[in-house]
Amino acid sequence: MKKFGLLLGTLLLTGSSAMFGQMEKSIRLNEVMTDNTANLQDEYGKCEAWVEIANVSYTTYNIRGMYLTTDRSVLDKKISVPERVKRMSIIPNGEPRTNLGARQHLLLFCNGTPAQGALHLDVKIDPGKPTWIGLFSGNATDLVDSVTVPPLGANQSYARVKDGARLWQIKPVDAVTPGISNFIQASETKVAKLKRDDPYGFGISVLAMSIVFACLAMLFLFFTFFGWLMHHRSTAKKVAGVQPLKAGVKTVEKAMEIGNKTSIILQDGLKSKGIDKEIYIAVIAMAIKQYQNNVHDMESGVITIKPKHTDWNVEYIQMTQFHE
Amino acid sequence: MGFTNFLVENFNEFLTYTGFANATAGNIAMIVVGAVLIYLAIKKDFEPLLLIPIGLGIILGNIPFRTDAGLEIGLYEDNSVLNIFYQGVRMGWYPPLVFLGIGAMTDFSALIANPKLVLIGAAAQFGIFGAYMVALALGFEPNQAAGIAIIGGADGPTAIFLSSKLCPNLMGAIAVCAYSYMALVPLIQPPLMRLLTTKKERVIRMKPARQVSQTERILFPIIGLLLTTFLVPSGLPLLGMLFFGNLLKESGKTTRLAKTAGSALNDVIVMLLGLTVGCSTQASEFLTINTLFIFAVGACAFAVATASGVLFVKLMNLFLPEGKKLNPLIGNAGVSAVPMSARISNNLGLEYDRHNFLLMHAMGPNVAGVIGSAVAAGTLLGFLS
């Protein structure tokens, strides 16, 4: 029992940590500007290097407690956690903007002065040089995402082609997209497209109806086959006259019994259900004998109720006697 | 004098808050509609479990009050109690909970015993797509047309679920229409069934279904979930909860949970769902020409669904050997008005042969219709969301 509990606990823990890991993987470094001279300003009106983090999932995720760093040495797994933490900058608690909603973005300023605000990190990015940026999970050990930013011109950014996409590109000054999606396209909505391509709804009806049919036809096929299987299993069970044999209780005796019944079926057909003709004859003979001897219970169908005095409604039984 | 003025001023202001001062002809008309629904539910026994909450909801939602007073009492006012209840409809989490209850109450044995009946449930969904085309022809946008067309599935929770996602502004009218027609199934379906079948077909006797093992009944929700949601993941909220509820019932180990899901929980959700859907039909939103169109398309959807179910059984009979033919009267049960439409099949069957009980046979397509309409809703959601 203890082992089972342990197993269950481990499974749950593994499952939940895997899920947590999956959630973190939805948090991506999305766009970086290393040389900000005339782009986005911080709360103090200064232009600082910034890193955009995106939540590419459809679930809210709070990135507080995660770490950002430009120090590549933290990739060495042998470094202790306290030492790692010293080389990274934590995304602080208590800042509501770190709670990233579905498909939302957050800009973090990397000017090395965290005292200036929750979104200012203790990370300094030197403009004009290639920079490695790593985003680590709350344990300061697991790398969530990283990017090596090539040397960029003033006010250029290095961004994923689309939010969360594998490919990165250098964006010119006029195409930088801080705090919003990297790929903005005024595309036609599904509804508008359908209205244009299928104005009478015939296409969508045929398609959707086919899907419904396919779905239910799969159920039909599966349960037809499965029903056939179960039917034959139950027939075999009836023939055997016993529960299906379990691995541990296989005995020569049972095997012989089944073998005997099988041979009867082969000889006399499936209708015999594996029962020897002699047994049938014996059962029929016994029934005839019982019928002739009137052994079977014969009920008259008349119920006789004889009165019996029980005193159930005598008053004195229900009364309490006063003490004198 | 000052005190009198005070009294008069406040009394006058109080009067401006009353329903009498704020009533419109639309409000009164909707209150009458609500009262009629309650009457039908109590006197005529038309889906009372749904029409009473909806009817009262309509009255509740049309009690006039000063909307500029910031009283936070209206359905559409943030933080009001009704608004909090309404979140379940708006966010679409009442319908899956209703499906949980349906799953916990439904016995799929009839379907498992005779799996070909599932195809009737699929055929009856043609009502949805027929209505989709009609709605488009009437000038509705594709997303609105899909929301209206789902009425043809004859499944209130599915209609609410889909319309809340695709066309929230029409949801009230769609829900009322769906439930009204579900209540009117005994009037809509029999004439069509008579029209489309011959006397000889109506007396076809079907073999009793085989007994289904517990293994099959346990496997059905699991396999059903896998097969349907792998193909139509957008139907996951409805199908997932339907099969979950059924697994609770059939596992034999969670009887207590199944009982709660099928009784107390389901009742609570049905009450809140009915009431808030009723409330959402405020006169300004409901009394429009669109509502008339929705009712017209809904009627068309029901008729097409019934007809396609019956005709599909007749088509199947062309390929089935003698002795295994199906009674076309069970075709109407492909719409998922459970168990009303199956009962109609049975009653009509008994009308022509008083020993021909079709109820259990009709339950097969009936529960298949529940699955079919949820799959259809998921498909439309996938195409149009």
Per-residue HEC secondary structure of chain A comes to: CHHHHHHHHHHHHHHHHHHHHHHHHCEEEEEEECCCCCCCECCCCCECCEEEEEECCCCCEECCCCEEECCHHHHCCCCCHHHHHHCCEECCCCCHHHEECCCCEEEEECECCHHHCCCECCCECCCCCCEEEEEECCCCCCEEEEEEECCCCCCCEEEECCCCCCCEEEECHHHCCCCCCCCCCCCCCHHHHHHHHCCCCHHHHHHHHHHHHHHHHHHHHHHHHHHHHHHHHHHHHHHHCCCCCCHHHCCHHHHHHHHHHHHHHHHHCHHHCCCCHHHHHHHHHHHHHHHHCCCCCCCCCCCCCCCCCCCCCCHHHHCCCCCC
Edge-to-edge strands, sheet with A50-55: A105-109, A50-55, A27-33, A157-160, A168-171
Per-residue pLDDT tens digits for A158-170: 999 988 888 999 9
Residues B221-258: pLDDT tens digits? 999 999 999 999 999 999 999 999 999 999 999 999 99
Give the minimum alpha-carbon distance from A213 to chain B in angstroms, rounded to a whole number: 5
Question: What is the distance between the alpha carbons of residues A143 and A121, in angstroms, rounded to a whole number?
Answer: 18
Residue A218: per-residue pLDDT: 92
Neighbours of A4 (CB within 10 A): 8
| C-beta atoms of B121 and A216 within 8 A | yes
Whether B15 has its CB under 8 Å from any CB of chain A: the answer is no
How do the domains of chain A map onto residue ranges? 18-175, 187-226, 235-242+254-296
Are the Cβ atoms of B215 and A230 closer than 8 angstroms? yes
pLDDT for res A229: 84
pLDDT at A102: 87
CA torsion through residues A290, A294, A300, A304, sign: negative
Q: Does A190 sit within 8 Å of B383, measured CB to CB?
A: yes
Does the global pTM surpass 0.80?
no
The ipTM assigned to this model is: 0.87
How high is the pLDDT of residue A251? 67
In chain A, which residues have pLDDT < 70? 1-24, 186, 238-252, 294-301, 316-318, 320-324
For chain B, residues with pLDDT lower than 50 are none
Domain A18-175 has CATH 2.60.40.1260: yes
Alpha-carbon gap: B312 to the closest alpha carbon of chain A (Å): 12
Contact check, Cβ <8 Å, A223/B220: yes
The answer to whether the CB of B248 falls within 8 A of the CB of B104 is yes
pLDDT for A68 equals 92
In chain A, residues with a C-beta closer than 8 Å to the C-beta of B133 are 200-202, 205
Half-sphere exposure of A90 (CA within 13 A, CB side): 13
CB contact under 8 A, B142 and A204: yes
Q: What is the pLDDT of residues B252-302, one digit of tens each?
A: 999 999 999 999 999 999 999 999 988 888 887 788 888 889 999 988 888
Q: State residue A20's pLDDT score.
A: 47
pLDDT of residue A114: 85
A230 at interface of B, judged by CB pairs closer than 8 A? yes
pLDDT tens string A202-261: 999 999 999 999 999 999 999 898 888 887 777 777 666 655 555 555 566 777 777 778
